Copies of this chain bind each other. A is one copy, B any other.
Amino acid sequence: MAFDYEEIDGIINAGSMAIVGASAKPVKFGSLFTATQLGFGFKGKVWLVNPGEKEILGHPVYPDLASLPEAPELVYLTIPAHRSMDTLRECARLGVKGVIIMAAGFREAGEEGAALEEEALRLAREGGFRIVGPNCFGIYNPRNRLALLPGHDFSHTPGDVAYISQSGGFSAHVGRQCKGLGIDFSAIVSYGNGADLNEADFLRYFAADPQTNIIAAYLEGARDGRLFMEALSEAAARKPVVIWKVGKSESSSRAVTSHTGSLAGSSVIWEGLLRQCGAIEVSGIDETCDVLLALKHLGRKPGRRLLIAGGGGGLGTYAADLAEEEGLEVPPLGGETSFRLRAVLTAPGASVGNPMDIGTPLVLPEVFEASMREAAADPGTDILIFDLALNFGYGLGGEPGLNAAADTLLRVRREIGKPVVLALYTRAIGIEDMHFEEILRRLRSRLLEGGVPVFPSMRRAMRALTLINR
């Protein structure tokens, strides 16, 4: 069907909704999603529908859609596949705008399921409504507080990243991990089999959506290759688009077919296609989140020339190896920068150069500040990247010392204007070391709030910097 911005917008920004199959019985998706949505504070009316229940969490339950006081704009279906068709007919009759079908058991499950999916699609076409799914979670939108995924604790703050996913689980994983990284969303859409609205539709929608500045997606396949390629090219010309495409091996493409019934396609074709369209290709949830974090704080193509700093000679050497592997640059320091740094870093064990070794992870605050300022002022590099093993740094300055170092890096970033990136991690990972993890999370928040992206390893930092420069 032709792309229609308003149709999709009507679903994502729905003003009223009904949950069909709402339940109070624990361990059912119906109850999990009902509780999540009720707790999340949807800004319009929510009606619950289930002929077998009377009340859920203090809300009345209606026996069917026809009994509702008015027709909902959006219907969320949590009932089994084979029992969904009658409800879809009712949706058509009532004039709802969109239906999210959560249940599995459609195309991905074989012939019988495929017939059901065809029937659902026919009912949607005739009834004038659009379908998200089936075999999906649904939509998270902090603006109208739609929370149709396992995300009761998701952020209420609207952001500018849109995430589109064929996997429901991944949509929840990305949302949760990004929350810990201070990345907020315009919306997350889990669309499963994509029987009706698919990747091309959502790409076009978020490309046009004024709230969205960055788009990321998890794809198992594309319904229509040509349409998808057009949508992707158009979207990538307007904003960064991050694509994770799975199903490139024989075994994973078997899995794709049984997961969302998609045709995965060959890896070579996909890689070429994504590059040609201007997308950033990633692999895995971690890499997706790392790239979103890098894009948020550094933008697209911030430059490849790194100044690597840290306390310990091995760290810098390793980081330089990683940079070279990734195609980033670690140019020798300019003469003037070297001269100025040599006046600051005088202790034995310190080494002025690129990579630069300040001696230990934390040095005297005035030395740390002066060396970071001189390093950031180096005109031959685009980004200052600092390596900090937090448990080691803690031993030298405690949490106040770590906070002071973080504040120095934030000041340098603000006053000198050079992007600063941190690899921040702890090697103390035992049960008895939880306090280091707590300090790490506090320190990470402090840095993220001030515009310094923090990655859990030098390897992941280097990879993210490489990808946003492509």
Contact = CB atoms under 8 A, between A and B. Distances in A.
Interface of A: 27, 32, 80-81, 103-105, 108-109, 135, 150, 153, 165-170, 172-173, 176-177, 179-181, 218, 220, 246-252, 254-256, 258-260, 283-286, 311-325, 330-332, 348-349, 351, 353-355, 357, 389, 391-392, 395-396, 427-434, 437-438, 441-442, 445, 457-459
A331 B396 CA distance: 51
Contacts of A433: 180
Contacts of A167: 312-314
A327 B162 CA distance: 34
Nearest to A135: B349
B255 A323 contact: no
A430 B320 CA distance: 30
Nearest to A441: B431
Contact of A317 (B256, B348, B349): B256
> By CB atoms of chain B within 10 A, which of A173, A218, A286, A395 has the most?
A173
A124 B457 CA distance: 40
A434 B431 contact: no
A313 B428 contact: no
Nearest to A389: B173
B430 A180 contact: yes
A318 B284 contact: yes
A357 B441 contact: no
Nearest first, the 3 closest Cβ-Cβ pairs linking A and B are: A259-B313, A167-B314, A249-B324
B392 A173 contact: yes
A467 to B, nearest CB: 15
Contacts of A105: 348-349
Contacts of A286: 457, 459
A325 to B, nearest CB: 8
Given A259-B317, A313-B167, A317-B220, A427 B176 contact: yes
A248 to B, nearest CB: 5
A81 B348 contact: yes
Nearest to A218: B314
A441 B432 CA distance: 9
19 contacts: A81-B348, A104-B349, A169-B311, A176-B391, A177-B429, A180-B428, A246-B317, A248-B321, A249-B330, A251-B320, A252-B320, A252-B324, A259-B313, A284-B457, A284-B458, A286-B459, A431-B438, A434-B437, A437-B437
Given A169-B311, A437-B437, 4 more contacts: A103-B348, A254-B332, A256-B317, A286-B457
B430 A434 contact: no
A316 B285 CA distance: 13
B396 A251 contact: no
B314 A258 contact: no
Nearest to A331: B251
Contacts of A170: 312, 314
A248 B324 contact: yes
A158 to B, nearest CB: 18
A172 B168 CA distance: 41
B348 A80 contact: yes
B259 A351 contact: yes
A216 to B, nearest CB: 14
Contacts of A322: 283-284
Given A167-B313, A255-B353, A355-B251, A427 B389 contact: no
